[in-house]
């Protein structure tokens, strides 16, 4: 016997669903909705974003008919519903609102395109729409969840081991992304950590994006990642393209001119899973995974990744604490090849008004990591210094590091990686515990503006 949960792909928002209601006079109304939410085996919910005809009809006649579609085969299922209540707060409302807010923020509709209520229905019956397809649906393949179940425990064990084993933040982040790839098959992932007193997030590690991922920024509350960071709640979106088109339609209809926030990763992502890393309500970071398969991320991923996210958050936080306690080595061996020859000439420009550093006119880094680089280069230029310690950076008031939880290690990782990508003639190389060297190849001209 088919359970409602067996139709989970129908409830992922890849294909819009249809809702039929009726007013008290018996006049039917049909509307497309972007998604029907599966609450449990006996309940579903619809998002109420506008006080529309469907909503008014339900107050007059609580019966509703919904048709959902399996996105891989187009097989449809019919649900007979009875309206129970509108929820304007609580876990279900929060979960549905997060998704809508994230899409709204991404499409420049924050505050306009929002959830008014989660309308909850009892599923009185449901049945397959027999005869809808000529030969019945082809096998849509069930191996995704089976694979997941098989590897989930190993994945948890692996992540725990790697977190405990990691000697520095960089190794920990790499291990996390490696585990997500190895045990969950997530090929496009990134870890972002908060910067600037939590006003923005900066990509500290990425996988599957080539070299361009590290350093990419997202403002707090903006787009999918920024919304998850602000709300500190996990977000899984299937059929991202469909959701975005829906959001863009409402944006067009509302006459909004707010710009769309570009996705930080794959330009053609079809699904996304964004996981907050938080401890007792304090945001530690965000892990984002994307895929071109609209159904890549399943329900089981949410449950297990929330457990893993707790461990990762604790691991990162421990790393920051430890860093402060004993000034652990903050930079690891650079992975970039040594610069070829010494003939290269680079111009490093520091814009003091906004703490931005450019290399040969191309943006490199800003804020605290930018100030750190400028201090290192100035000391090297004026005094010929090449050896530095984490402790002296912490004590230098011009860098503006906070007294506690300064995230120095993550800032040095970001700086080193950006240099590896954009200016391999400048390298930060560890020399001893809590110490590192600035290596300069070729000629470097410093300009302050």
Nearer to other proteins, 31 or 431 (CB): 31
Structure tokens at 195: 């910067």
Nearer to other proteins, 211 or 293 (CB): 293
Nearer to other proteins, 113 or 380 (CB): 113
CA distance 94 to 121: 17
Nearer to other proteins, 21 or 367 (CB): 21
Nearer to other proteins, 218 or 250 (CB): 250
CA proximity to 409, closest of 109, 237, 193: 193
Q: In whole angstroms, how close is the CB of 65 to other proteins at the nearest point?
A: 4
CA proximity to 143, closest of 337, 294, 32, 298: 298
CA distance 52 to 18: 15
The Cβ-side half-sphere exposure at 135, using a 13 Å CA radius, reads 2
Determine how many CB atoms are found less than 10 A away from the CB of residue 139: 7
Strand 200-207 and strand 217-219: pairing? antiparallel
Strand 217-219 and strand 356-359: pairing? unpaired
407: left (phi over 0), alpha (psi -120 to 50) or beta: left
Nearer to other proteins, 53 or 232 (CB): 53
CA distance 186 to 177: 8
Residue whose tokens read 């309206």: 83
Nearer to other proteins, 71 or 285 (CB): 71
Bridge partners (DSSP) of residue 126 are 79
CA proximity to 217, closest of 176, 262, 254: 262
Q: In whole angstroms, how close is the CB of 92 to other proteins at the nearest point?
A: 22
Q: In whole angstroms, how close is the CB of 114 to other proteins at the nearest point?
A: 12
Nearer to other proteins, 257 or 404 (CB): 257
CA proximity to 426, closest of 390, 394, 366, 380: 380
Q: In whole angstroms, how close is the CB of 55 to other proteins at the nearest point?
A: 10
CA distance 138 to 70: 11
Q: In whole angstroms, how close is the CB of 83 to other proteins at the nearest point?
A: 11
Return the CA Rg of the chain.
Answer: 26
Bridge partners (DSSP) of residue 195 are 200
Q: In whole angstroms, how close is the CB of 140 to other proteins at the nearest point?
A: 10
Query: For 213, phi and psi rounded to 5 degrees?
Result: -70, -45
Structure tokens at 284: 């530690």
Q: In whole angstroms, how close is the CB of 420 to other proteins at the nearest point?
A: 37
The SS3 assignment for 181 reads: helix
Nearer to other proteins, 240 or 305 (CB): 240
Nearer to other proteins, 22 or 151 (CB): 22
The site for other proteins (CB under 8 A) is made up of 15-16, 18, 20-22, 26-32, 34, 50, 52-53, 61, 63-65, 67, 71-74, 76, 80, 129-135, 137, 241-242, 245-246, 249-250, 252-254, 270, 294
Q: In whole angstroms, how close is the CB of 25 to other proteins at the nearest point?
A: 9
CA distance 67 to 76: 6
Angle, CA 196 vertex, CA 263 and CA 380 arms, to 5°:
105
């Amino acid at each position: 016997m088919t359970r409602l949960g067996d139709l989970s792909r129908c409830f992922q928002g890849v294909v819009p669903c249809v809702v039929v209601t009726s007013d008290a006079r018996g006049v039917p109304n049909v509307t497309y909705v972007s998604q029907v939410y599966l609450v449990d085996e006996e309940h579903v919910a619809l998002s109420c974003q506008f006080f529309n005809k469907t909503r008014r009809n339900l107050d007059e006649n609580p019966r509703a008919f919904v048709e959902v579609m399996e996105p891989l085969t187009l097989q449809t299922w019919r649900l007979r519903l009875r309206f129970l209540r509108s929820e304007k707060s609580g876990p279900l409302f929060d979960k549905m609102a997060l998704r809508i807010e994230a899409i709204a923020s991404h499409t420049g509709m924050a505050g306009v395109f929002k959830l008014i209520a989660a309308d909850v229905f009892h599923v009185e019956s449901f049945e397959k729409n027999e005869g809808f397809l000529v030969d019945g649906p082809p096998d849509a393949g069930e191996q995704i969840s089976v694979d997941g179940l098989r590897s989930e425990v190993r994945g948890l064990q692996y992540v725990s081991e790697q977190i405990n084993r990691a000697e520095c933040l960089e190794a920990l982040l790499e291990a996390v992304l490696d585990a997500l790839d190895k045990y969950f098959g997530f090929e496009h992932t990134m870890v972002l950590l908060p910067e600037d007193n939590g006003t923005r997030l900066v990509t500290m590690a990425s996988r599957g994006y080539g070299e361009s991922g590290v350093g990419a920024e997202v403002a707090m509350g903006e787009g999918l990642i920024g919304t998850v960071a602000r709300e500190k709640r996990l977000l899984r979106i299937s059929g991202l393209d469909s959701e975005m088109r829906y959001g863009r339609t409402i944006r067009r209809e509302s006459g909004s001119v707010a710009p769309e926030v570009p996705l930080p990763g794959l330009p053609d992502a079809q699904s996304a899973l964004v996981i907050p890393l938080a401890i007792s309500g304090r945001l530690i970071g965000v892990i984002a995974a994307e895929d071109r398969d609209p159904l890549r991320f399943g329900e089981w991923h949410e449950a297990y990744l929330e457990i893993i996210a707790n461990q990762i958050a604790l691991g990162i936080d421990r790393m920051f604490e430890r860093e402060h306690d004993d000034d652990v080595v903050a930079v690891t061996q650079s992975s970039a090849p040594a610069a070829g020859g010494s003939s290269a000439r680079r111009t490093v420009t520091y814009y003091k008004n906004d703490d931005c550093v450019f290399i040969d006119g191309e943006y490199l880094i800003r804020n605290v990591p930018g100030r750190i680089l400028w201090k290192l280069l100035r000391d090297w230029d004026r005094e010929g210094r090449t050896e530095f310690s984490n402790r002296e950076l912490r004590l230098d008031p011009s860098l503006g590091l906070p007294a506690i939880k300064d995230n120095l290690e993550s800032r040095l990782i970001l700086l080193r990686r950006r240099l590896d990508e954009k200016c391999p003639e400048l390298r930060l190389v560890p020399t001893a515990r809590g110490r590192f060297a600035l290596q300069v190849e070729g000629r470097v001209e410093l300009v302050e503006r």
